[in-house]
Structure 1
Amino acid sequence: MDGYRKVLTRPGITPLMMLGTLSKIAIVAIPVVLNLGVVLGLGLGFGAAGMVIAAYAVGVGVGGPVQGRMMDKYGARPVLLVCAAAQVLFWGFGPVMPYGMLVVGAAGCGLLNLPGFSLLRLRLAVAIPEEQRHTAFALDAMTSNISYMAGPALGVVVATTVSSDASMRGLGLVIALTGVGLAVLNPQVRDAKGTATGGPGRRLKFRDWFTPALLPVLAATTATTLATAGYESAIVGGLRHSGQVEWAGLVLTVCGLCSLFGALIYGTLKRSPGFAVITGLVGLTTIIGGFATHDWRLLALAMVLPAALCSPAFAATGSAASELAPAGARGVVMGCYSTALTLGNSIGAPLSGAVQDEKGPVWAFAVVGLTSATLSVLALLGQSRLARRRAAEDQPPQVMANASA
């Protein structure tokens, strides 16, 4: 655990982790609060709620790189204050908005969502030396796990025991307060010598930061969230199909605890496996769950491996993305990373649900797992091809001439 101590004792990291975790708890509650706001507050169906959540997800996907670029140029504080103000407006007026305006507002909410996840990763990328970075990103994955376990549950409790209006306004208040707190802390997200240029007098161009090496990282990131969102949906669907849906919450809790434990172990490793290998294993082990849907105890046991691997996969891809981000473009690269996370979440659950409707939960686990594993294999092949190209470029001209002769 000495690695975690070294990370947390760095100046400003502990308060940032605490505020960042609180902001994450609020952010991950947004979809369920929007859902209940439409269903309970407006009296509409889940299909209408899905449109609002989809608009929010599109906003998040577009806003991640844009916010990252703004942080590269102006630092964290201005972005945090603008986002906090936008969240106050949306969540303050959200309960009285008509449905059409709520859809548009949700897209704006996503576009100006508080960058709690990306801000923490950016700060870790700048402040933590490369040899400790996988430990730092494992710690980030653990805080994300805690957020996913607490945030949606709290949103449901407030919406169902108080009111959907209270849950929306309360959520907005928490997001705004954490945003202001982070702005006061003003974490340095730019390298001390980093600017928005790639050298004297030259601004970074798109190809300077969106390199071929980044594509496998983004593919593996999407693969991981596709698998996790997909198997969560398949767990609920599978237990409902077998008449044991009342145990779904417990099985998902087991998954969350296994994921937390997996991140804890991963952070203590001296050397981490390649990110594409870990994400591929997440996909392949997800398939096992399809053979255990008839008994919630067997399903919980079957999900131990994929759940325990998902946080290390997030930590590995996050660390890899940060290493590829050049000074002056860390924000936009990590913003693209956040978009890849959102893309996987947006694909995984609908894909799992569609397969369940057509073929049943067993096939949902299989399709989600194989799709995730296929993306990971493509990422691994892309990595290998780039490594071979770099090795060929590094060879001296005489060696290459002898080889061709």
Structure 2
Amino acid sequence: MDLAPFKHVLMLPRVRPLTLLMFFARMPPAATGVILTLHVAVTLDQGYGAAGLVGAAGTVGMGLGAPLMGKLIDSRGLRLMLAVSVTASAAFWLTAPLMSYWTLLISSFAVGLLGVPMMSIGRQMITALVPESRRRVALSIDSISVELSFMGGPALGVAVATKVSTSAALMFIGVSILVSGVLLYWANPPMVHEDEVVDGPKPKVFEWLRGRIVAVLVVCVGEVVCLAGMEVSAIASLEHIGKASWLGMVFFAMCAASIVGGLVYGGVKRVPSVLVLLVVMAVCEIPVGLGDGSVLWLCVLLIPMNLVCAPLIAACGEQISRLAPPAARGLAMGLQGSAFTIGGAIGSPLAGVAIDNGGAPLGFAVVGVAGLLVAGVAWVLARQGQQVNPLPVG
């Protein structure tokens, strides 16, 4: 593993400060789910089922809104999108403590629809800052940054919610989004690399949204099916043995493994295709249930599949950035965000049903098999694109 490529990318103009900005900008979105759950279930005393509905409404909104915000970036630029999105997001989070449950439920969908797609913005920004030959390394850095945000964001949010109040945590998210949005507006990073041509008529969606790129989007769905199911199954496993307090340690192990995988992926010369990475992740998830009943063995068995997590996110982002026209890259990255959302909407309840019928081991196994089935669908779609090597390496 050679770390020199990471250094070279980080030395490029604007990469380091903007990567650092995106790390902090992504921490609030990483914490929103857990804070909303605590606020609805505990502060509003509506229960976890009602909290799940609020989370689902926001998820549906994000799934629909990410491509719309991406298309707005393509057509009108980043700043206009930020002006709309940051205003809507900050207004929601700063006033959320005053809302009744039903107002919160409806507003959650609206803020998902108009919310700041920080994940998509980060991926599109990093592809615009580096030449195509270095995108794999740059997107590996971006994936590692996402993992770090998800390690720090929820922990910080829970600390504020439990030590102060959930209302304070909601307002903290609003202030954080406002500050990061203003800084991003001021920085105004490019969304298309200077060597790419975006002049001329805009490409029609169905001229490029087919074959290989659809297959990659399906792989994105499969990845999050595996990851969302893994999280639900891991929680169920720990609760079954009365060690839910160790959840933070298990999640830390997962994120750490993903970071290591991202470093390896960005530092090697040749890499496997996204289909191979998804198959590896799914296969490695199936036996994780053998660690049920032991925190140590659960952590150990979760490491192999999470080693593939950051590499697969980076690989999908790299393929999408190559296959989508530069003038439509915002829409393409937004569709990737929607694919992630769909994967979560499938993976979590699928694992939940399996757990209810056979415990956490069955949850891991079922979503692992589901990941393999999704990989098969992606392979078929890629073949229909009449490509000899539908998802190329490197």
Normalising TM by the smaller chain, what interval? over 0.9
Corresponding position of 1:400: none
Cα displacement (A) at 1:206: 1.8
Corresponding position of 2:114: 112
8 Å CA contact 1:63, 1:112 repeated in 2? yes
- SS at structure 2 position matched to 1:189: coil
Whichever residue aligns with residue 21 of structure 1, its letter is: F
Change in CA separation of 1:244 and 1:35 when aligned onto 2, cut-off 3 Å = closer
Corresponding position of 1:169: 171
8 Å CA contact 1:83, 1:112 repeated in 2? yes
Corresponding position of 1:187: 189
Correspondence 1:2-401 to 2 at 5 A: 2-192=4-194, 200=200, 202-388=201-387
Change in CA separation of 1:240 and 1:28 when aligned onto 2, cut-off 3 Å = same
Whichever residue aligns with residue 339 of structure 1, its letter is: S
Cα displacement (A) at 1:389: 6.3
- SS at structure 2 position matched to 1:329: helix
Rg (Cα) greater in structure: 1
- SS at structure 1 position matched to 2:292: coil
Task: Determine the C-alpha separation between the residues in 2 that align with 1:205 and 1:193.
Answer: 22
Change in CA separation of 1:285 and 1:193 when aligned onto 2, cut-off 3 Å = closer
Instruction: Give the unaligned 5+ runs of structure 2.
Output: none
Task: Determine the C-alpha separation between the residues in 1 that align with 2:194 and 2:258.
Answer: 34
Change in CA separation of 1:59 and 1:388 when aligned onto 2, cut-off 3 Å = closer
Q: CA offsets, 1:195-216, max 9 Å, x none? A: 766xx4x332121231222111
Whichever residue aligns with residue 242 of structure 1, its letter is: I
Corresponding position of 1:397: none
- SS at structure 1 position matched to 2:26: helix
Task: Determine the C-alpha separation between the residues in 1 that align with 2:110 and 2:197.
Answer: 29
Cα displacement (A) at 1:271: 1.9
Q: CA offsets, 1:372-397, max 9 Å, x none? A: 12111322343345354699xxxxxx
Task: Determine the C-alpha separation between the residues in 1 that align with 2:61 and 2:248.
Answer: 29
Corresponding position of 1:395: none
8 Å CA contact 2:82, 2:185 repeated in 1? yes
Task: Determine the C-alpha separation between the residues in 2 that align with 1:334 and 1:325.
Answer: 9
Corresponding position of 1:402: none
Task: Determine the C-alpha separation between the residues in 2 that align with 1:25 and 1:326.
Answer: 30
Whichever residue aligns with residue 225 of structure 2, its letter is: L
Whichever residue aligns with residue 308 of structure 2, its letter is: L
Task: Determine the C-alpha separation between the residues in 2 that align with 1:164 and 1:330.
Answer: 37
Task: Determine the C-alpha separation between the residues in 2 that align with 1:245 and 1:91.
Answer: 29
Task: Determine the C-alpha separation between the residues in 1 that align with 2:135 and 2:358.
Answer: 42
Cα displacement (A) at 1:85: 1.0
Change in CA separation of 1:195 and 1:71 when aligned onto 2, cut-off 3 Å = farther
Aligned residues: 388
Whichever residue aligns with residue 310 of structure 2, its letter is: S
Cα displacement (A) at 1:88: 1.8
TM-score (norm 1): 0.92
Task: Determine the C-alpha separation between the residues in 2 that align with 1:238 and 1:42.
Answer: 28
Corresponding position of 1:401: none
Corresponding position of 1:403: none
Task: Determine the C-alpha separation between the residues in 2 that align with 1:72 and 1:195.
Answer: 13
Select between 224-233 and 121-130 the one with higher mean Cα deviation: 121-130
8 Å CA contact 1:118, 1:338 repeated in 2? yes
Cα displacement (A) at 1:320: 0.8
8 Å CA contact 2:210, 2:385 repeated in 1? no
The sequence identity of aligned pairs, in percent, is 32
Task: Determine the C-alpha separation between the residues in 1 that align with 2:129 and 2:242.
Answer: 50
8 Å CA contact 1:41, 1:95 repeated in 2? no
- SS at structure 1 position matched to 2:12: coil
Task: Determine the C-alpha separation between the residues in 2 that align with 1:388 and 1:349.
Answer: 33
Cα displacement (A) at 1:275: 0.7
Task: Determine the C-alpha separation between the residues in 1 that align with 2:186 and 2:202.
Answer: 29
Whichever residue aligns with residue 131 of structure 1, its letter is: S
8 Å CA contact 2:211, 2:384 repeated in 1? no
- SS at structure 2 position matched to 1:61: helix
Q: CA offsets, 1:208-232, max 9 Å, x none? A: 2312221110111111111111111
8 Å CA contact 2:89, 2:174 repeated in 1? yes
Select between 235-244 and 79-88 the one with higher mean Cα deviation: 235-244
